[in-house]
Amino acid sequence: MATGQLFSRTTQALFYNYKQNPIQRMLDFDFLCGRETPSVAGIINPGSDGFQKLFFGQEEIAIPVHGNVPAACKAHLTADVFINFASFRSAFASTMEALQQPTIRVVAIIAEGVPEGDTKKLIAYARANNKVVIGPATVGGIQAGAFKIGDTAGTLDNIISCKLYRPGSVGFVSKSGGMSNELYNVLARVTDGLYEGIAIGGDAYPGSTLSDHVLRYSNIPQIKMIVVLGELGGRDEYSLVEALQQGKVKKPVVAWVSGTCATLFKSEVQFGHAGAKSGGEMESAQAKNEALKQAGAIVPLSFEHFEQAIKETFDALVKDKVVVPVEHAKPPTVPEDLNVAIKNGRVRAPTHIVSTICDDRGEEPTYAGVPMSTIIEKGYGVGDVISLLWFKRSLPSYCTKFIEMCIMLCADHGPCVSGAHNTIVTSRAGKDLVSCLVSGLLTIGPRFGGAIDDAARYFKEAYDKGLSPDAFVESMKKRGIRVPGIGHRIKSRDNRDKRVELLQKYARTHFPSVRYMEYAVTVENYTLSKAANLVLNVDGCIGSLFLDLLASCSLFTQQEIDEIVDIGYLNGLFVLARSIGLIGHTFDQKRLKQPLYRHPWEDVLYTKAVKMRIEYAGDLYILK
């Protein structure tokens, strides 16, 4: 292991298994230290993704959440520390997965009770691949003024009183996280403070040992003396004894092994940690303290004298001018959380809306990060703006041209379709533009213009499963579902929809692949054998071609494609396009000063209730 410094002011970590308080404490420490960037780059919550809102000082930030370890590592290439808050049941699998990632250099395992066999496998893999494991059963570690792991060093008040917001000259390593906090206070009182501190964890087989970190500290120039706090049980301290005897540690080492009181008990005593149990004379605190003393470490008479020994060692270094004590600097004030801030008159409130598609806070608005001036200067069209605001990326020109074609071809389809009819009736009732537009838009659904998403969804499902056209159609029939995108009230085999033909011609010329559209055409061929009006309509054409656009442009993952269809992006195209026509009909009726509409009697069948049978043929319902 040896090498040197593990962390710096630019170190970033991935945090496994979201825990709000430890992450917020890390971010508050970052702010206290004056870091420019948060130390938590991303969060891993198995099976979920998105983001979590937290505070970085006064500013609220969104930290990305990833569903698995590889995805997080790929997204955050500079994050080389993995903080694992998984339970002891899943700590092994998640830690091993992290160690196998090329970007991860240090892993901290917080969980207690990890099976010893699993821990040994992790240690072997880490050593073979030159990686560092801290824990299991650790609170973590800290580099003063730079980076800390999770709950290390406790509350902000403790961090400030221990002067951990700026680096000192002492390297510290212990098995105990709780006792680490106590010693950080001691170091702040009698030295110029901590430079780096590690709690290796109290399990019998720690991922890294006391001597591993002492040898590291020997290679860090800023560390002038080393303080070690061990405990009875195990033989970890003897590797430090060996290093001291071999002269590998040139800096003063002040050490104490806790547990000397164990001799007062008549039977063997298990202290708090799994490893704090003497297995013989050599594992007793007394034997270890004596061995360390003989090897050259400064070992006090008791723990009560530990602080004095540290002070005397530090003072001697100052006297010899080995250490120039760090001057005290006042840290910034970390904003208090809401419940405390309200009481004290200082508030940081969370935001209520999250926006990822645009930003109007700068000199000019941006769409997905693209300034408005760039959009105008580069001649972006409506399709480009839609690609930025809907898909949050710039799509190739053939894609944006296709989007614009869809809008133009679907803008209107005459006054007789249900949407236009409703808008016309509402306009003639004297209603305002928005009311007229909405009345038409509300008719959009599975039977009118709103089948694009369903068409895409079912065509994709059938194609991806390798269903033949007849198997697909018949399976839909058995499920009682009409095939979305197939059937028309007017168009037929001999009277094709010109819009469909134009879109197909464009796609075949410009798209890298049209496999979904060609599949839809084979479905149409089968349905036409059933009835002449069961043609591929414009909804089905747009739906299948948009699948080809998304799949062939290589800008979307499979998950993103599924999400686009599920959310309703494709129906959004029809809504946007048809809004143009509906607004036109509204203005047309008002310009013509048309009176209130009343449906003519002769167009209504007035009859008593009779039993009737309804048969479905394509897009038509027939009463018999």
Catalytic machinery residues = 273
Question: Do the Cβ atoms of 547 and 519 come closer than 8 Å?
Answer: no
Name the 3-class secondary structure at 507: helix
- For residue 532, give the amino acid letter: A
Return d(Cα 421, Cα 176) in angstroms, integer: 76
Check if the beta carbon of residue 540 is closer than 8 Å to that of residue 486: yes
- Identify the H or E element spanning 578: helix 569-591
Distance (Å, rounded) from C-alpha 351 to C-alpha 362? 18
Q: Produce one character per residue of 563-584: b if its CB has 16 or more CB atoms within 10 Å, e if not.
A: ebbeeebbbebbbbbbbebbbe
For the purposes of burial, counting CB atoms within 10 Å of the CB of 21, is it exposed (0-12), middle (13-18) or buried (19 or more)? exposed
- Rounded to an integer, what distance in angstroms lies between the CA atom of residue 430 and that of residue 595? 9
Q: Phi/psi of residue 369, each to 5°?
A: 85, -5
Q: Which residues of 175-188 are buried (b: 16+ CB within 10 A; e: fewer)?
A: bbbeebbebbebbb
Strands (E), 110-168: 132-134, 140-143, 147-148
Q: Contact at 8 Å (CB) between 88 and 114? A: yes
Rg of the chain in Å (alpha carbons): 35
Tokens 């739906």 label which residue?
Answer: 543
Q: Residue 292: phi, psi to the nearest 5? A: -65, -40
The pair of structure tokens assigned to 386 is 């839609």
Cis peptide before 331 (omega within 30 of 0): no
Which residues are paired to 495 by β-bridges? 492
**91 contacts: CB under 8 Å, gap ≥ 6:** 84, 109, 111, 114, 118, 136
Token pair for residue 154?
A: 């406790």
CA dist., res. 133 & res. 112, Å (int): 14
